[in-house]
Chains A and B, each alone.
Chain A
């Protein structure tokens, strides 16, 4: 298909429709309201359901209901809205229901701002909800990726029967870039999944299905959690994604960065290269599962003297980077957390400072 110039939010919405997701529930919040606005006219056209709820709390349980019936369903929101949904995310994980969340992050805490941020890293990766629950988290770095990952998120959610989040930021949502879409996918509204609550007659007899997250028997709850754990470990084995850039040479510094910020870092790597300073960029594409082995391997190279985690927050992923690298190489954070995006010059400057401070040269 040829490329069209589209705003990230609209591309996400279109990608979901083409991925066969005809059920969207949401509540407006800046900077992602265009997703809902786009779907408000696009979904009826495609024979789908658009529903604007009275709050994000209602949204997440509408998703629970829809997913419980085996339907493909998704929502989009921004940071404070995701906070309101977090109880429901835990229930979805507990009941093992596949739902896709798109979080177009804005700065916090509290109402924060409406400009781009990556400050929901912890929330998405570690604190999706109470209890031992996890989401698979994809971090797009372009409008094209945001569209592709949204489509893919539905497959992953179905594969694991687990909530999946596409974690973008205000820049991904608001920026316009050329994007091409995959062919339409026909997904039947009615459910074919054996676990969904579709009525016993569908399954030809007497096997009632139960969608729930309550396990009062401690042994049963323990077993349930161990099963979830095994699922999260399977995600790590089968779906950890990352990419590494400019790692062929003898890089002195390994930069780790995700999403929008990784694109800026890529330019910084080029700028430094022109100055004769070799650096490599490792970009986690899934934030959970986190590519810890790959970061460890890249940092372990003899040429690599230090690691810099660049994020649009006050230092969240850096904790996972430190955990991956260990104590034998210095790991530092650089970033901004008010809605400004650090420039390539600023990142390059930080790398040079790191080199000077650790006395590598």
Chain B
């Protein structure tokens, strides 16, 4: 039986990430993790690679996790979870365990798109039964806001500072969801905390499927995005409403857009409240906004075409 997504019912359910963790005030990732855990009704085993979430939930000898949790290095959460899940299958085969367990990886974009990419790809290809959740905050926030391959075009980070040489990062982000879909795994989705029902329904769907599942969830970071501390959900909503962060799922290769804004807002609405895009206001940088809008439009169109073609990429 799946968890009721009524707010009243959810408020009565125990959250497996206890309060008192050291995530920053207003952190989007902490909200995402809680939503994901709330949506799962089976026992959960969690693995996190090095990152904000890991560092802030195992300070000193304490743990914020009310469920088994394992940390490995930065580059291999999916490999570590492959080991855990393989041992679980071995025990199950021998009849020494009969519990149904959901194996969840929570990794940031650095540990997913970049250094953890090889082990993620390997785990997806081998078909381990795990739900890999990327909390995508668009940069290496834990080490001080360095660019990652999830950092959007034009964003200023400490290693892509906007100045006279370059106006922020000069590459678009990787389309990680499509790369994962190309692994031909049963379930891939993109979600955002502003649309919590959509997010939790996706988690429930993923958790019900055997095999590798991948979810990319937007996690606004006020430190790195240079935004207001209480803007995480607002920015998440704007990312969705501008189609910068489309909400979709790919089930066995078939795309469904799970939320279509009635009227697509201009990308500017999402970028404006964020200091990392402040240099967009300079007259000589007008082209940046145009370029982002073009990219967003193209990807949104691709997605609509993929949906009607019952495929995942067009």
Contact = CB atoms under 8 A, between A and B. Distances in A.
A37 B73 contact: no
A303 interface: no
Contacts of A45: 165
B115 A27 contact: yes
B144 A52 contact: no
Contacts of B160: 40
Nearest to B143: A28
A33 B143 contact: yes
A248 interface: no
Nearest to B139: A28
A57 B76 CA distance: 13
Given A29-B143, A33-B144, A111-B50, A41 B163 contact: yes
* Residue picked from B113, B146, B161, B163, most chain A C-beta under 10 Å: B146
A80 interface: yes
A28 B166 contact: no
Interface string B117-149: 100000000000000000000001011101101
Most chain B CB within 10 A, of A41, A45, A56, A57, is at A41
Contact of A33 (B71, B73, B158): B158
B74 A36 contact: no
B231 interface: no
A54 B143 contact: no
B159 A40 contact: yes
A30 B165 contact: no
Nearest to B159: A40
Contacts of A196: none
A30 B159 contact: no
Contacts of B50: 111
A80 B74 CA distance: 9
B241 interface: no
B146 A52 contact: yes
B249 interface: no
B165 A28 contact: no
B159 A54 contact: no
B114 interface: yes
Given A28-B140, A84-B75, A55 B161 contact: no
Contacts of A28: 140, 143-144, 146, 159
B241 to A, nearest CB: 31
Contact of A52 (B71, B75, B113, B147): B147
Interface in A38-69: 40-41, 44-45, 50, 52, 54-57
Contact of B159 (A52, A57, A110, A111): A52
Interface residues of A, number: 22
Contacts of B142: 30
Contacts of A80: 73-74
A40 B75 contact: no
Contacts of A44: 165-166
Nearest to A32: B143
Interface string B160-177: 110101100000000000
Interface in B244-303: none
Interface residues on B, range: 20 to 34
Contacts of B71: 111
B34 to A, nearest CB: 24
A54 B114 contact: yes
A251 B307 CA distance: 82
A294 to B, nearest CB: 39
A80 B49 CA distance: 13
Nearest to B140: A28
A337 B114 CA distance: 31
A54 B143 CA distance: 14
Contacts of A41: 161, 163, 165
A80 B115 CA distance: 13
Interface string A104-134: 0000001100000000000000000000000
Contacts of A54: 113-115, 117, 149
Contacts of B158: 33, 36-37, 40
Contacts of A84: 75
A56 B161 CA distance: 21
Interface in A274-313: none
A34 B161 CA distance: 13
A57 B117 CA distance: 12
Contacts of A110: 73
Contacts of A111: 50, 71, 73
Contact of B161 (A29, A33, A40): A40
Contacts of B163: 41
A40 B142 CA distance: 18
Contact of A55 (B115, B143, B159, B166): B115
Contacts of A34: 144
A207 B140 CA distance: 45
A58 to B, nearest CB: 9
Contacts of B159: 28, 36-37, 40, 50, 52
Interface string B36-71: 000000000000001000000000000000000001
B58 to A, nearest CB: 10
Contacts of B73: 80, 110-111
Nearest to B110: A28
B171 to A, nearest CB: 11
A56 B143 CA distance: 15
Given A33-B146, A52-B159, A54-B149, 7 more contacts: A30-B143, A33-B143, A36-B146, A37-B146, A37-B158, A40-B160, A55-B115
- Counting from the closest, the 3 A-B pairs by CB-CB distance are A44-B165, A55-B115, A54-B114
17 contacts: A27-B115, A28-B144, A28-B159, A29-B143, A30-B142, A33-B146, A37-B144, A37-B146, A40-B160, A44-B166, A50-B159, A52-B159, A54-B113, A55-B115, A80-B73, A80-B74, A111-B73
